[in-house]
Each structure stands twice: as structure tokens, then as C-alpha cells.
Chains A and B, each alone.
Chain A
Amino acid sequence: MPTPQGARFRRQGLAAALFVGLFGGVLYLASGARLKPADFTFNNGTEVTTLDPATVTGVPEGRVLRAIFEGLVVKDPLTLAPEPGMAESWNISEDGLTYTFQIRKEARWSDGHPVTAEDFFYSFQRFLDPRTAAYYAYQLWYVRGAKAYTEQVDEKGAPLNDFSSVGIRTEGTHTLVVELEAPTPFFIDLMGFYPIFPVSRRNIESAKEQWPDSWEIRWLRPENIVTNGPYKVLHRRVNDRIRLVKNEFYWDADNVALGSIDVLAIEQDATMLNVYLTGGADLIDRVNTNVVREMMVREDFSPVPYLGTYFYRVNVTKPPYDDPRVREALSLTIPREQISRDIMKMGQIPAYGLVPPGIPGYKGAECRKEDSERARALLAEAGFADGEGFPALEIHYNTSEAHAQIAQVIALSWQRELGIRAKLRNEEWKVYLDTQNTLNFDVSRAAWIGDYVDPNTFSDMFVTGGENNKTGWGNAEYDQLIADAAATVDPAQRMDLLHQAETILVRELPILPIYFYVTQNVAAPRLGGYFENIQDEHFPKHWYWMDDEELAAKRAGYTGDKELVDPHGPPQGMYSPAEMRRRAGQ
């Protein structure tokens, strides 16, 4: 037992030490390195899964990858037409089967090394290698032998085939030759799709050598990752930000305006809007439906049609939903106009087919518009007059306010018009996916965003047994049409085949289309080089800040009344070196 004085001394000492420790800790942590504000900040909606192009799938990852990597082709920021990127030119053989790409001689990685055909060869091989486990590997399966290379594996998961069986080869340092299985009209667009961006072989292999245990993560660290796009990665913090800075080795760096870009990972709708409104972000990717009415009048919010469809899947393996008459009756009584107008409110287009409008050369097939009388007659024909004897129906969706509202409106309509008792069932995301995959539902909410501007990205989903079919539906004629379309060179004929396929789909209705998406971005008025487009794809390479003069000219061009808001950005603008020279020369 210590003396009383000793005990007291010890106690006070402890208290003092605790206090000094806490306070010191606060000061130490608060003084940690802070970044200067970036030239431009956009919100990405969530944290990216990875920066490795080969293994990503999501929209948020795409937004960052388009800033730091560049594929063989890039897209026009407005029309999305393919333009020369890493490949300065390409040749397509007459039969549409062989693509020859000339890699730009001045192209460099962010470590200064040249980008060669070999880099693409390596990246494509890595992408197709089953051990990489690339989600999107099937996007390169149009290449001869590629599907077999990914799918045929030994018991350890290594490919059985030699890569020489795949139609990819180099000719010299700057020529890449790709041979396809069948003419694929959208193949050139795919070369600008972010999972197919190249990675630096030197980057990965030196990491493998240095850190044999952890290279899979290490090569992606900001201090290690080597990129070939307009920007490179400076700093990353999970659930906070990715700081990108201009890549001076980029072949077109002269035309890149912004010196640094912050990519935020804000998930809350209210928080991201608050951050935008107080100038902490210059571009956000969505707004909550609660504030749409206020946003619609502002100059910084202009939704345009987006290549996505919101629909319900019907489980056709489960009676009475195996009867097409029942499915049509359900479709005929969905109040689509009301959903678009009163719930979504951003000008979403009511959907009567699977493929959204806006794909050049394609006209979508449509099912019948709302018709309660016909619906009741069909239901009676199927043996459920006035809903008599119809089992209680469950609308299944993933937990979300908007999905719940839509489901309520539809359930109410089915109850009122058809006499069907409809209940709602919401599930947390991963459970919801599991329920869908195991066909454990009656009617289930779904959505699909196109990967490329072609009906096929929607249509091939519903071939018999397709991974993303999830309805149990199958139709031999439909499958044949999709296969025929894939082998057809003539664009008009091909579109016609796809249209015929969609006609079958909207007649059989294994899905109930509800609405087509619109973009929801809020973009600072001063931001230039930014365009709303059908794929909601944006290219930081082209972004710049307008000066006051240019902003005034833009505002003068508005049609209709728009509420002018804080334009963000510097009043003197921020332009690329090339643009500055052009202006100085004038």
C-alpha cells in the first residue's frame, strides 16, 4: 500500500499525463498533411472498388478511370463517337473481322516510358486470363479464341489454352492486330470502354518483384500506379477523396486545362447537395427526388435521356405468371405517366419497351399502352375474372425510398384495376440480389444501364439461360435473332433483327418496362467542355473553367427562363496551354 502522498501524486500524475496525451494527440492529428484545394472537385457517389481497369464494373470506377487511363480510342464528349486515343489510326478489314491499330508514337506512361502495342497485348491477355477474374472479360470475347481462353481452365483456375490461340498479336512496336469471331459493329466503341484500358506491364511486374506477397495491392498505390491518361493519382483516402493531378507525359497534355481534380466519395444525397451548394464540389452525380422541383429551374441542372431502363422482372416459372395474358394484364395497368410525372419528376420517359430511345438507327418495339379494360378481359380469359382466385402478388425491390413509392403506386393500381391483392417486399441489396438470382419472387424491380450505344447491350440479356435474364423466360426464336444479329455486317439489317427480337420480348413480357432514365448531374455553370450525353460519360480531359466573358455568352444562349446560380470556379477562367496560346495569338 503506497503512502497517501504517493497515491495522490500518482493520481495527479496520471490525470496530467492523460490530459497531455489527449491534447497532444489532437494537435498531432490535426496538424497532419493537408492538401491544397483542387482546381476542380466532383462527387463520385461512393468509394471506387479499385483503380485496376481490368477488374472493375461500376459507373463510379469508370469516372475515375477515364481521367487516368486512355484506351485505343476515346469518345467525343458530346456525341460519344470514337476518336483516336492511344491509337492514332485504325483499319478494319472488309469482312469486318480484322482490326489493325497504329499506336501513337508519342504516347507515354506517367513514368515517361513509351506506350507500345506490347502494353496492349499484355493488358488484353491479363484481362482475359481467368486468374485476373475480370468481371467484364466477356466484352473481349468477340475476339477469336478469347471466350475459350477465359472459360477453359484447369482445376487450379489457370487457362488450358495457350494465348496464341487468341486473335491478338503485335506487329512491330506500334501495331496491334485484333481478329474477331464475327463482325461486331460496336467493337471499336468497346475499345474506349474503361475495363479495356491498358495497364503498364512494367508497373505490375516491378511490383511483383519488389513485393511478392502484396503486389496485387501495391501496384495500385498512388505512389506506384503508372497511368497513360490525362491525369495521374496523387493521393487516396478511403471514403474521402482521390486527388488527381495532370500527367505531364500525356500525349495531349497541351490540351488539358485543369491542374488537379478531387474525386469525392459522398454517398448521402443531402450531404452532396450541401457540399455542392457551398462550393465544396463543382459537379455531383445525382439529386434526391425531394428537391427536383427546386432544381429543375436552375441553370446548373438539365437532365437528358440516359441509356438506362427501369423495369420489373416477372418470374415466368411460377404460375400464374407463366401465362403471357396475366403478364400483359399487369403491364396494361402500370400507371407509367403518373410514375414519371409525380414520383421521378425529372422528365423520365415512360417505357413500353426494353431499349431506351436515342440509339442511332434503332427504333424500339413497344408493348400496348395502358388499357384497363383489355387488362381485365385478359385476366378473365386467364381464369381470374375480377382477380378472383389470383394468389396474393408480391412486388420485390431493394430498400430505397424511390423504389418503395413506385411499388406502392403500381400495387394500388393492380388492386384497383384488376382486383389483385399486391403486397410490397423490400430487401437489403445483397439479399435482394440473391432472391432475384434464385427466382424467389413474383415480380421484382430491376434496372439496366447500357454498356455501349447499341440495342444489343439490352437485348442479349434475355437470351435463354443468360446470366442476367433472371426471369426464367426463354424463346428459341428470340435467341436465334440475337445470334443472327451478331453475325450480320449490314447495320440496317442488324438493327432490324434486333427490333424483331424486341418485338417478341414486348409481346411475351417477361419484363414490365416502367421508365427510361435521365441523367441527374448538377454541374457548375462555369464548367466548360462538359456535355450531358446518353451514356452519362464525361471526360475530364476536356474540362476547363470559362472566364466571365465566355460564361456570359453561354448564359445569353439559354432558351427559356433559368435561375442563375453561383457559377463556381475562377472568374478569369482556367484554360489549357494550347487554348491560352490561341487566345494570346488572337
Chain B
Amino acid sequence: MTRFLLRRLLWFVITMFVVMSVSFVLMRSVPGGPFDQDRNVEPAIELNLKRKYHLDWPMWKQFLHYVGPLNLDERGMFGEGDRKGEKTFGGVLSGDFGPSFRYRDFTVNDIIGQSLPISALLGVIAMMWALSLGISTGIASALRRGTGLDLAMRLAATGGIALPNFVIAGFLIICFVFLIPLFPVAGWGSIRTMILPGFCLGLVFAAYISRLTRTGMLEALSQEHIRTAHAKGLSPRTVVMRHALKGGLLPVVSYLGPATAGILTGSLVIERIFFIPGTGSHFVNSANNRDYTLAMGVTILYTVLVYSLNLVVDLIYTLLDPRIALEDE
């Protein structure tokens, strides 16, 4: 177990380094910069803007300054005058993701700190809803295999996967905001504002989970030990809930890691439609705005999320399936 974790940690460090350096270089090689606007700035002023954010430095120095942990600007330990050593540490390694270029009154830490809890809450709602709907329909589908119910649920699941969530969102807004005014049309605050976006965001995941549960359950139900359990005279309910479900959910569990990361960060469309100040929109906007620091910040965040969620999934796997042991990996 310890060896497994250590090895994962080592890979994590390597992955992070590659992700950071590649995205750092890629972003800066795209045409257009963070301060380009439709009205051009006087060259002297532009130079000062670049100076302020160290964009006048060579790329390697900008990268070192960004990664840290040493602060390289005039306030750092190599600075001059009375500001020397004011802020010895800086950069990502010291937990400082720098100032945002687009939202200049905020640091990247502020922005992620404000938006991540919102995305997380939205994600949790969507995930709880996706799990409960997906697993229950998946089980029902597997137990009533080949019936009309199974067919209807499989069709619905395919529909859920195929329909983009903005179409569903538009449809739901027409129904539950304008025709039957139950929910506010957009915004974030009360529980009422969370229901529609949570529903839309979770729907596609519910559909996947339903398909996965059905497949997993069908496989689990055909296993020898299930037949034994039936033969022992256990009630069908006990057989399904206690013995089949555990194996049946394995595919769902392995899907949960990427799904959770996707739900936390991929809520861009839903966030825009329902005007939710979450993290999802920063993934695209920061790149469009050439907000280098914010784009780096959310990229790092995403990498950490995917990595750690996958690790959690691997750990949960061992709990669900005794046949899998981490040491053997």
C-alpha cells in the first residue's frame, strides 16, 4: 500500500511538471496577448504593462518565477533597494498562483477559492442525482431484462447521452420557468436556484451510470455465487442488494473518478446558461482572454483533481472487490 502510494506520488510530480511546462509554453506561443484590446495602447504604456506583469522577461525566467518557490522580482531576495527580501517566496510551489490578468482585482487563488466551492456544490448535487437515478434505473433495467421497461430505460439513457445539455436546459427553462414558474431562470444562491442546473448537469452522467450499472449487474447476476445465494433460499432482495450489487457497481466506480472531475470542471455550458459563478467557465474564458495565470491555475487544478480522484477510485475499488489488491499492481 505504501509503495503504491509512493509510486503514485512520484508519477504525480512528473505529470505536474510536464503539464505545467507544456501549457506554459503553449499558451504563450498562441498569437495575441493578455493586454491586447481592440484599441491599441501607446507603445510606452504597453511596455510598462508588460513590465508590471514580468512579460518582458525571457520565457525561462517567467517560468521559474511562476513555479517558484523563490520570488524573482524586485521584491524577492535578489531584488535591489529597500524592497529587497520583502517577499522571499512566491510562485506555485509556495501556494501563490499569481494575479489574474483579466480580473485584475483578484488573484488566481481568490478566483479559484470563490468559484470552486460553487462548482463543487453544483457537482455534488448533480452527482447525487446522477447516481441515484442512474443506479436505480440500471438495476431495474438489468432485473427486467428484455422487457418493455428495460427498452424504455435504455432508450432514455441513450437519449440522455445523445442530447447536449444546453438543449435539455433550454427545454427545462421553457417548461419550469416560463410555462410553470417553479424555479428562477438563472443565478446562484438559494436551493431553488440549484435544482435546474444540477438536474441538467447530472443527466448525461445519470445516463452513463445507468448503462454501466445495467451491464455490471447483468454480469454479476450470472455469476456462480449469485446462483448459490438463490439456492440457499435468500430473498431476491437480499441477493440483489447484498451480493450482486457490489460486483455490479464496479464499472460505475471506475467511471466515478473521471466523471467527478468532469462534473466539477466541465460545467461550462450549464454555468453560462444558468449564470453560475463556478470554475467551469474559467477553463475556456481564461484561454480566450489569454489570462495566462488563471489558465495555468485551472489547468493545475484540473490535473490535481483528475489525479487524486483516480487515486480515490483505485482505493475504493479494493474495498468493493477483495480480488483486487494494490500491491499486485
Question: In the complex, are the beta carbons of A433 and B37 less than 8 A apart?
Answer: yes
Query: Out of A26, A131, A447, A448, which one reaches B48, CB within 8 Å?
Result: A131
Given the interface pairs A26-B124, A217-B105, A434-B32, the reply to whether A133 lies near B274 with Cβ below 8 Å is no
Question: In the complex, are the beta carbons of A271 and B86 less than 8 A apart?
Answer: no
On chain A, the residues within 8 Å of B178 by CB distance are 278
Residue B167 is within 8 A (CB to CB) of chain A in the complex: no
Residue A30 is within 8 A (CB to CB) of chain B in the complex: yes
On chain B, the residues within 8 Å of A150 by CB distance are 42, 44-45
Stretch of B96-104, B141-149, B154-162 that contacts chain A: B96-104
Instruction: Write out, one digit per residue, whether chain A residues 131-145 have a CB within 8 A of any chain B CB (1) or not (0).
Output: 111110110000000
- Nearest neighbor of B103 in chain A, beta-carbon distance: A238
Question: In the complex, are the beta carbons of A131 and B187 less than 8 A apart?
Answer: no
- Nearest neighbor of B173 in chain A, beta-carbon distance: A274
Residue B40 is within 8 A (CB to CB) of chain A in the complex: yes
Instruction: Write out, one digit per residue, whether chain A residues 8-31 have a CB within 8 A of any chain B CB (1) or not (0).
Output: 001100100000001001100110
Number of interface residues of B (CB under 8 A): 67
Given the interface pairs A22-B124, A239-B277, A278-B185, the reply to whether A137 lies near B104 with Cβ below 8 Å is no
Residue A288 is within 8 A (CB to CB) of chain B in the complex: no
On chain A, the residues within 8 Å of B49 by CB distance are 133
> By DSSP majority rule, is chain A's interface helix, strand, loop, or mixed?
mixed
Instruction: Write out, one digit per residue, whether chain B residues 19-54 have a CB within 8 A of any chain A CB (1) or not (0).
Output: 000000000001111001111111111011101100
Least Cβ distance of A217 to chain B in Å? 6
Residue B295 is within 8 A (CB to CB) of chain A in the complex: no
Given the interface pairs A217-B107, A238-B111, A278-B185, the reply to whether A151 lies near B42 with Cβ below 8 Å is yes
Question: In the complex, are the beta carbons of A237 and B105 less than 8 A apart?
Answer: no
A 392-440 contacts with B by CB, 8 A: 428-431, 433-435, 437
On chain B, the residues within 8 Å of A35 by CB distance are 189
Residue A55 is within 8 A (CB to CB) of chain B in the complex: yes
Q: Bound state CA distance, A275 and B273, in angstroms?
A: 11
Residue B4 is within 8 A (CB to CB) of chain A in the complex: no
Q: Give the number of residue pairs across the A-B interface with Cβ within 8 Å.
A: 171
Stretch of B7-15, B62-70, B112-120, B221-229 that contacts chain A: B112-120
Residue A582 is within 8 A (CB to CB) of chain B in the complex: no
Given the interface pairs A151-B44, A213-B75, A213-B87, the reply to whether A266 lies near B275 with Cβ below 8 Å is yes
Query: Out of A30, A265, A429, A431, which one reaches B194, CB within 8 Å?
Result: A30
Question: In the complex, are the beta carbons of A130 and B277 less than 8 A apart?
Answer: no
Q: Bound state CA distance, A240 and B187, in angstroms?
A: 8
Question: In the complex, are the beta carbons of B114 and A30 less than 8 A apart?
Answer: no
Query: Out of B37, B75, B184, B289, which one reaches A57, CB within 8 Å?
Result: B37
Least Cβ distance of B325 to chain A in Å? 10
Residue A335 is within 8 A (CB to CB) of chain B in the complex: no
Question: In the complex, are the beta carbons of B105 and A50 less than 8 A apart?
Answer: yes
* 8 additional A-B residue pairs with CB within 8 Å, beyond A50-B105, A52-B105: A7-B319, A25-B120, A150-B42, A217-B107, A238-B115, A240-B277, A267-B272, A278-B181
Q: Which residues of A contact B (CB under 8 A)?
A: 7, 10-11, 14, 22, 25-26, 29-30, 34-35, 47, 49-52, 55, 57-58, 130-135, 137-138, 150-151, 153, 157, 212-214, 216-217, 220-221, 236-240, 264-268, 270-271, 274-275, 277-278, 280, 428-431, 433-435, 437, 446-448, 467-468, 470
